Structure 1
Amino acid sequence: MPSAQPSGSAAAATGHTVTTNIPARLDRLPWSRWHWTIVIGLGTVWILDGLEVTVVGNIASRLSESGSGLAISSGQVTGIAAALYVAGACAGALFWGRLTDKWGRKKLFMITLAVYLAATALTAVSFSSWWFFAFRFLTGFGIGGEYAAINSAIDELIPAFYRGRVDLIINGSFWLGAVGGSLLSIVALNTAVLPKDVGWRLTFALGALLAFVILLVRRHVPESPRWLLIHGRDREAEEIVTSIEEQVEAEKGRPLDRPEGEITIHQRRSVTFVEIARTVFSDYRRRSILGFSLFIGQAFLYNAITFGFGAILTKFFNVPTDDTGYYFAVIAIGNFCGPLLLGKLFDTVGRRVMISSTYLISGLLLFGTAWLFDRGSLSAGTLTACWCAVLFFASAGASSAYLTVSEVFPMETRAMSIAFFYALGTAAGGISGPLLFADLTGTGKVGDTVLAFQIGAALMCAAGLVAAFLAVRAERRSLEDIAKPLTAAASTVTGKARSAKEGTGRSRPATA
């Protein structure tokens, strides 16, 4: 193994100044089985989120039926319970996000998943509406915390060369869960297979079981060495990175490239909330405007389509209610294919071009869909095809919003920044969406539905234009180079991006 620069003082106490090349050592690693462990252990939780949201929407009618074992109406499931889930997600993101920056990534991504697991399992045994509502809130509370803890940990563990595509695919995997939720609901609601009061409970129990399996995998995911460095635990950081290097070298059968660049850190245990607010909203004001625009744009586009999805198909095209799940599964697949197929371009073509283009293209395609719908030129099948095309690009753009806010702010504010913008986007979707789009698409009037499409398209295009001017060229750059840590003593280059071809043994400067 190539000799590595010492990580600084052996003391694990704050107040020390250390000079380290640990970020550069993490960024120069080739892709390996160890990185797949990170992806599986941390990234698969979005599948659970997609499963959770889709299942609840699809079983709403069953819960309201006599014999379901729960005295609750369909409107309460899609209204009160959905609102409580959103409120829990927003509150959880902000609450756990602050603790993630303060206590560490690993501690929080274990706690938040445990909260989700327990709340989902207890939802399965609901015996009254108040119990169901309470644990829908707590399920959202856990999921909201997951977004902050997971995205910050992934960004800090994945090499700079792969960070963009990995983030996009992981965030886009929500839609794999949505597909699974749609198909699972078809089985769970079939009374020939399961009794009325059992099928819906098993869907929640399955979510809890999957969460338990993921929890077992997560035990092997280490704390972020970057977080450890800043918080005075450089000895632990050194041990973790050395262990990773040894595993990767053993797998590849060759020495690793020499790391290039180092950074000097003034260690401290915590950063005050005032410092975080000043950093995000004053020092990085343009990046905050970018994050705000991206999250609001994608939230409104998705609400323009999804809040009226079933109503549009049934009212305008006479699609039976029982069959809308199949159409939803199709557009969910389109949603996942966007990040999967376009993700690599965010690391090669670049963030600014790809973020702005995915937002603008999806907005323009939705304008086109609105025009065709207004003319009466679409059938249920062709409308679904149009939605697939729109969401193919929109999903990549929406996933890049999470990528953006997780990499353009300093290390000490990363989880809180993710939490803030996630809560902002979730609130826009869960509060403004139902108030605006559900009413427009529920009237049965062509003009109202067209207006809903146009509002979503206009805001998505506006966000694309903001990205064209403000998006940060973060591709293949070290996180410390994109946004210098608040604790950094000097503006030093912390790492070099890997060569375009893995395994060449050559390095190249980070993109300016």
Structure 2
Amino acid sequence: MTLDAPTAGRHPDAAALAAAIGARFERLPLCRWHVTVRLVIGAVTFFEAFDQLLIAYALPQLRAEWQLGTGQTTALMTVGSVGMLAGALLSGRLADSLGRVKVIAACIALSSLCNLALTVCTSPAPFMAARFVQGLAIGGEVPVAATFIAEITRTHQRGRFVLLYELVFPAGLTAGALLASWLVPLLGWRWMFGLAAIPGALCLLIARCVPESPRWLADRGRHEQALETMAAIERKVERATGAPLPEPAPAAPAARAPEGRSGLRELLRGRYRRRTLVVGVLWFTGYFVNYGITSWLPTIYGTRFGLSLSEALGYSTVTSCAGLVGCLLVALTVDRAGRRRTVTRCLGAAAVTLLLLGVLSGGSAVGVLVWTSLASVFLFGSNICLYLYTPEIFPTRIRALGSSIGGAMNRLGVILGPIVVGAVYADGALGTVFVTLAAVALIGSLTAGAAAEETSGRQLEDVAP
């Protein structure tokens, strides 16, 4: 075993130690330990996704109960996304400074406390304040969790492993849709947020079961702790597999980090500037289109086609379930197809589907249901791939920050998508809504095809030294 605990006294520099730890992760077979960690972190991400979508299903009742106009409705819908944007930017810096696991645990605890606060709100102002703070937690947890899972996974079939974890996010969206479509008409929106507070107990499970990323520990100069944590992981994997681990392959030559590690400035210069711009465009366009559709669907079904609340929520749930299918298909094929090709094709197919919807099938609720469900297959598939791709293209020292930039552009798309759709829809131009969204999806597809770098089959330290 190379660079194990007995050799820690030599204190190799962070870059060399990180390279050696990367080589040690490469020899770990996927086993029960990986699955356990993935399930624990996945449960957190599941419930953060669950919390994120609940506002769309509470909104019809909130509009009636508090007599909200269009402007107030839009504010209630988007304030959480503003918080998520701020949370994404803040969490990346915190996770690169304080550690991945601490930030993840704090986010789930804060989100659950906000759900309790939402249950007692009696007017829009305190509700929006609680949703903003909850947005900080949701926006902070998701990119940091994606970073952590990428850092504990070897190159072989990394795409499948990471995306099968990331499936918990759309699964959380789907579960939220299913529960809300049943619970809100039956008991009201307060019960929905009350039940969503229960998963806050997961922060205790994280502290007990999930180790800090050895790659991060090495990068922060905590060499002995990095080695001890890596050795403990290897012992657990050996117990899980019942066989000794093979010797790690020789570590690749270590590239030193730039002097005075510059954080955000490093993301915007040299080799990482183009990567930052590309993933920013992809996150923005994918989520602009996705949430431009899903946030307004229940309202469109009710006001445009006269469906009841239960019918509108049921139709919207079908679209969310279709998106989950797209995520599963991408998870199973991304290692073979490649990241760039997957995103390019999915966004391109979504653009074609939405264009056809805008031109041909916007005149009936069933037509909107069929075509938006098909578009969601492609949009969810593209967006989930970004959770895999983004942590791969940045080095450990700025990986969480780079992922959080993607998360912030995600949130910007989530904010502006519903606003633009609401403005266009206010004029009654439903077909124009879908044509506009098709154009945005096409921009994302062209960007991925022309400028994204392929990372399939490459070790993290090789992709981003």
Q: 1:137 to 1:243 in 2, by over 3 A?
A: same
Task: For 2:192 and 2:171, locate their aligned partners in 1 and report how far apart those are by CA, in whole Å.
Answer: 16
Contact 2:319 2:376 in 1 (8 A): yes
Q: 3-state SS of the aligned residue for 1:255?
A: coil
Q: 1:169 to 1:368 in 2, by over 3 A?
A: farther
Equivalent of 1:406 in 369, 391, 413: 391
Which segment drifts farther, 113-122 or 334-343?
113-122
Correspondences of 1:427-446 after superposition (within 5 Å)? 427-430=412-415, 432-444=416-428
Task: For 2:447 and 2:189, locate their aligned partners in 1 and report how far apart those are by CA, in whole Å.
Answer: 43
Residue of structure 2 in register with 1:497 after alignment? none
Task: For 2:124 and 2:298, locate their aligned partners in 1 and report how far apart those are by CA, in whole Å.
Answer: 25
Q: 3-state SS of the aligned residue for 2:196?
A: helix
Offset at 1:420?
1.5
Equivalent of 2:370 in 385, 403, 411: 385
Task: For 2:128 and 2:312, locate their aligned partners in 1 and report how far apart those are by CA, in whole Å.
Answer: 26
Given the alignment of the two structures, is residue 229 of structure 1 paired with residue 218 of structure 2, yes or no? yes
Task: For 2:242 and 2:443, locate their aligned partners in 1 and report how far apart those are by CA, in whole Å.
Answer: 49
The one-letter code sitting in structure 2 at the alignment partner of 1:144 is G
Task: For 1:167 and 1:188, locate their aligned partners in 2 and report how far apart those are by CA, in whole Å.
Answer: 32
Given the alignment of the two structures, is residue 132 of structure 1 paired with residue 127 of structure 2, yes or no? yes
Q: 3-state SS of the aligned residue for 2:121?
A: coil
The one-letter code sitting in structure 1 at the alignment partner of 2:247 is R
The one-letter code sitting in structure 2 at the alignment partner of 1:409 is F
Offset at 1:125?
2.9
Residue of structure 2 in register with 1:39 after alignment? 38
Correspondences of 1:413-492 after superposition (within 5 Å)? 413-430=398-415, 432-444=416-428, 448-484=429-465
Task: For 1:276 and 1:47, locate their aligned partners in 2 and report how far apart those are by CA, in whole Å.
Answer: 29
Contact 2:267 2:402 in 1 (8 A): no
Contact 1:281 1:288 in 2 (8 A): no
Residue of structure 2 in register with 1:505 after alignment? none
Which segment drifts farther, 401-410 or 43-52?
43-52
Which segment drifts farther, 363-372 or 132-141?
363-372
Residue of structure 2 in register with 1:241 after alignment? 230
Contact 1:355 1:400 in 2 (8 A): yes
- Kindly provide the CA deviation profile for residues 63-92 of structure 1, in whole angstroms up to 9, marking residues without a partner as x: 4556xxxx6747577333333211211111
Which segment drifts farther, 315-324 or 334-343?
315-324
Task: For 2:418 and 2:354, locate their aligned partners in 1 and report how far apart those are by CA, in whole Å.
Answer: 19
Offset at 1:315?
4.7
Equivalent of 2:343 in 347, 352, 355: 355
Q: 3-state SS of the aligned residue for 2:57?
A: helix
Residue of structure 1 in register with 2:317 after alignment? 329
Task: For 2:297 and 2:435, locate their aligned partners in 1 and report how far apart those are by CA, in whole Å.
Answer: 15
**Larger radius of gyration between Structure 1 and Structure 2:** 1
Residue of structure 2 in register with 1:206 after alignment? 195
Q: 1:385 to 1:258 in 2, by over 3 A?
A: farther
Q: 3-state SS of the aligned residue for 1:219?
A: helix
Residue of structure 2 in register with 1:507 after alignment? none
Contact 1:25 1:259 in 2 (8 A): yes
- Kindly provide the CA deviation profile for residues 195-252 of structure 1, in whole angstroms up to 9, marking residues without a partner as x: xxxx433322221212323642453111000011111222222222222222222222
The one-letter code sitting in structure 1 at the alignment partner of 2:85 is C
Contact 1:152 1:406 in 2 (8 A): yes
Correspondences of 1:51-200 after superposition (within 5 Å)? 51-63=50-62, 73=68, 78-190=73-185, 194=187, 199-200=188-189
Q: 3-state SS of the aligned residue for 1:44?
A: helix
Task: For 1:50 and 1:16, locate their aligned partners in 2 and report how far apart those are by CA, in whole Å.
Answer: 35
Task: For 1:214 and 1:72, locate their aligned partners in 2 and report how far apart those are by CA, in whole Å.
Answer: 37
Offset at 1:331?
1.0
- Kindly provide the CA deviation profile for residues 416-449 of structure 1, in whole angstroms up to 9, marking residues without a partner as x: 111112112212321x2233211223433xxx22
Offset at 1:451?
2.1
Residue of structure 2 in register with 1:10 after alignment? 8
The one-letter code sitting in structure 1 at the alignment partner of 2:348 is L
Offset at 1:327?
1.0
Offset at 1:269?
13
User: So what's the TM-score if we normalise by structure 2?
Assistant: 0.90
- Kindly provide the CA deviation profile for residues 10-61 of structure 1, in whole angstroms up to 9, marking residues without a partner as x: 2598977754521122133222111112221212333223322332222234
Task: For 2:385 and 2:143, locate their aligned partners in 1 and report how far apart those are by CA, in whole Å.
Answer: 15
Residue of structure 1 in register with 2:243 after alignment? 254
Q: 1:232 to 1:170 in 2, by over 3 A?
A: same
Q: 3-state SS of the aligned residue for 2:197?
A: helix
Which segment drifts farther, 104-113 or 42-51?
42-51
Offset at 1:386?
1.9
Q: Across the two proteins, how many residue pairs are aligned to each other?
A: 464
Offset at 1:412?
0.9
Q: 1:218 to 1:339 in 2, by over 3 A?
A: farther
Offset at 1:294?
0.8
Q: 1:53 to 1:143 in 2, by over 3 A?
A: closer
Offset at 1:101?
0.6
| Structural RMSD (CA) | 2.9
Q: 1:279 to 1:307 in 2, by over 3 A?
A: closer
Offset at 1:348?
1.9
Q: 1:133 to 1:16 in 2, by over 3 A?
A: closer
Q: 3-state SS of the aligned residue for 2:394?
A: coil
- Report the identity percentage: 27
Task: For 1:134 and 1:252, locate their aligned partners in 2 and report how far apart those are by CA, in whole Å.
Answer: 48
The one-letter code sitting in structure 1 at the alignment partner of 2:8 is A
Contact 1:41 1:215 in 2 (8 A): no
Contact 2:113 2:197 in 1 (8 A): yes
Offset at 1:158?
2.0
